[in-house]
């Protein structure tokens, strides 16, 4: 059987930085060639970054992508990389044949953009594949942004037929069947697949099934990095025709995964013009019909997986790091109350950026406990982050002299004074302010708008309170396993949570116990069950009604909350979209 050395380029592009992304492609292609690869595959939309959202329809952006793509074959050839076969994702526009068949009506994205993959070698673009299935669910709006292709591309390299697909295509029926019908030995899939908990298992199962269906090996290359609310976890992999795992890249890290494959020789004849497999036009391009010269194979590598809590933690760290770096911030700042939420965010920030770029502010009030102040100081000692103290009691008294607030208004005034301090320091020193609220608080509106809800990024907004504790324990255990001091003081984990806006206040004064609350929220928010169905899972009707009412009433707050990394099946943001002005109520 012919051999082929394949490199999967798990890289971290930046949306809109076409020149910078082209440099990533060039440098990674050079690394692939130095490691003896015959083919290097880059992820979906690597040239423009992904997702580009409504930039897809901007003609100037389309043209710049096309220009950068057109320049790559010459650049590769000039650097001695002309023999390398480079497959990469990019933004393009519909081919003339597709445009002719496209109806001229509303509903077709402006300028007919396509989510495409091109094959480059020998100083030229050999062929192009346009994504067929455009997802329009969850975080995806591709039906809004692109027009679909209707061709399947087969390229012959080293005497092996390679079929192409892009991301959602293999989640739908078609590409594997087309690859099998075309007798391809390898199906290559370019992906921009965002992280959510346990998705790596689903991906492996999918790839294994599609490989068996197509009776061919399958190579899956994914983006890595943070993009606003999305985190791409990499997890690139290769399975053989039996669906057995051959090689796998690390999660949450850039990597060039190189694997040697023994693949069946191409036997299928060139298709007649207009031939279709499973409704798709077939185009075959021959780059090299002779097998590559024999060589000594490398031992494939399978990277260790993070456990469930470790995955979530690493996703949040990567999402924060890239949000800060890609948006040009030098440092971050947060209020450190000594509570579990802000403490975990402080540790995440140090892991993402290093302690020299993390600044905490303690804002004790008349009702702040001594242990809250000491716990914040202990966090700073353990992690090395900078901690300043700005007491708010004198400022609060000055406000009260003018306003004479009481009850909830008086409590929220304290939170808003703290926010003014954080934002003032942000403006003065250029820090990005981090909001420290968790998903349970965000769901129920248990935060002060323009108070603790202020900030530019919210690292744990998709982490329920029960998981905040679990992830904190995981981070401490991880440190201990490495012989390091646990970064989170045990007293922070063990004490009852409190906003400390009045004497003796506890979260449970306003909310159910968090284990019960989070179970109801999982049913109502993540699984989208109606009130009756939630009650049927064994919860008290009055409690369900109370929680659901809190969730429904807090939508206006959530819309004003900062972005943060999606790690669950359904986050508040791109995943869950309900109207603010809305009289529908789930009522028992």
Question: Catalytic residue positions?
Answer: 44, 131, 167
Q: Based on the number of CB atoms within 10 Å of its own CB, is 201 exposed (0-12), middle (13-18) or buried (19 or more)?
A: exposed
DSSP per-residue codes, 465-533: HHHHHHHHHHHHHHHHHTT---SS-HHHHHSPP---SSTT--GGGTS--HHHHHHHHIIIIIS---HHH
Contact assessment for residue 163 and residue 151, using Cβ atoms and an 8 Å cutoff = no
Q: Residue 474 — φ and ψ, nearest 5°?
A: -60, -45
Tokens linked to 135: 């997802």
Cis before 51? omega within 30: yes
Cα–Cα distance, 225 to 14 (Å, whole number): 9
Q: What is the DSSP letter of 418?
A: H
Cα–Cα distance, 444 to 524 (Å, whole number): 12
Contact assessment for residue 7 and residue 41, using Cβ atoms and an 8 Å cutoff = yes
Residues 6+ apart with CB under 8 A from 382: 485, 486, 487, 488, 489
Residues 6+ apart with CB under 8 A from 202: none
How many of the other CB atoms lie within 10 Å of CB of 116? 27
Contact assessment for residue 350 and residue 336, using Cβ atoms and an 8 Å cutoff = no
Tokens linked to 315: 């996703």
332-335 and 432-433 beta bridge pairing: parallel
Contact assessment for residue 148 and residue 133, using Cβ atoms and an 8 Å cutoff = yes
Tokens linked to 154: 């087969």
């Amino acid at each position: 059987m012919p051999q082929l050395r394949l490199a999967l380029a798990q890289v971290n592009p930046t949306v809109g930085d076409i020149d910078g992304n082209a440099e990533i492609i060039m440098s990674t292609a050079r690394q692939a060639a130095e490691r003896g690869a015959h083919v290097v595959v880059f992820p979906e939309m690597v040239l423009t970054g992904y997702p580009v959202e409504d930039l897809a329809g901007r003609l100037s952006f389309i043209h710049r992508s096309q220009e950068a793509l057109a320049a790559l074959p010459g650049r590769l050839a000039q650097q001695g990389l002309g023999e390398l076969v480079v497959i990469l994702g990019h933004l393009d526009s519909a081919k003339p044949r597709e445009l002719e068949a496209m109806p001229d009506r509303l509903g077709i994205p402006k300028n007919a953009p396509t989510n495409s993959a091109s094959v480059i070698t020998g100083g030229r673009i050999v062929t192009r594949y346009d994504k067929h299935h455009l997802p329009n669910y969850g975080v995806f709006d591709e039906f809004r942004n692109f027009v679909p292709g209707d061709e399947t591309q087969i390229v012959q390299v080293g005497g092996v037929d390679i079929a192409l697909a892009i991301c959602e295509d293999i989640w739908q029926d078609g590409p594997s069947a087309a690859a099998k019908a075309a007798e391809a030995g390898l199906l290559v899939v370019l992906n921009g697949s965002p992280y959510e908990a346990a998705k790596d298992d689903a991906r492996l199962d999918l790839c294994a099934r599609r490989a068996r269906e197509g009776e061919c090996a399958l190579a899956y290359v994914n983006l890595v990095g943070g993009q606003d609310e999305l985190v791409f976890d990499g997890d690139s992999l290769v399975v053989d025709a039996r669906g057995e795992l051959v090689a796998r890249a690390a999660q949450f890290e850039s990597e060039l995964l190189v694997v040697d494959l023994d693949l069946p020789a191409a036997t299928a004849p060139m298709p007649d013009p207009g031939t279709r497999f499973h409704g798709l036009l077939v185009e075959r391009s021959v780059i090299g019909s002779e097998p590559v010269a024999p060589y000594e194979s490398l031992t494939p590598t399978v990277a260790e997986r993070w456990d469930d809590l470790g995955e979530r933690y690493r996703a949040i760290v990567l999402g924060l790091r890239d949000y800060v770096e890609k948006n040009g911030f030098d440092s971050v700042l947060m209020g450190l109350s000594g509570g579990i939420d802000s403490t975990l965010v402080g540790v995440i920030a140090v892991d993402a950026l290093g302690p020299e770029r993390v600044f905490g502010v303690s804002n004790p009030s008349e009702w702040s406990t001594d242990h809250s102040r000491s716990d914040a100081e202990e966090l700073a000692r353990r992690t090395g982050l900078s901690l300043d103290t700005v007491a708010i009691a004198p400022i609060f008294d000055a406000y009260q002299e003018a306003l004479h607030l009481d009850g909830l208004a008086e409590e929220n005034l304290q939170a808003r004074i703290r926010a003014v301090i954080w934002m003032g320091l942000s403006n003065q020193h250029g820090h990005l302010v981090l909001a420290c609220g968790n998903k349970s608080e965000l769901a129920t509106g248990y935060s002060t708008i323009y108070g603790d809800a202020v900030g530019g990024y919210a690292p744990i907004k998709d982490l329920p309170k029960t998981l905040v504790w679990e992830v904190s324990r995981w981070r401490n255990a991880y440190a201990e396993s490495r012989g390091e001091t646990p970064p989170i003081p045990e007293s922070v984990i063990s004490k009852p949570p409190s906003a400390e806006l009045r004497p003796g206040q506890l979260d449970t004064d306003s909310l159910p116990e968090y284990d019960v609350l989070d179970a109801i929220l999982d049913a109502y928010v993540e699984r989208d069950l109606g009130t009756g169905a939630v009650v049927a899972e064994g919860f008290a009707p009055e409690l369900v009604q109370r929680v659901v009412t809190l969730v429904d009433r807090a939508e206006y707050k959530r819309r004003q909350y900062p972005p943060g990394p999606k790690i669950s099946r359904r986050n508040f943001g791109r995943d869950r979209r309900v109207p603010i002005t809305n009289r529908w109520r789930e009522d028992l």
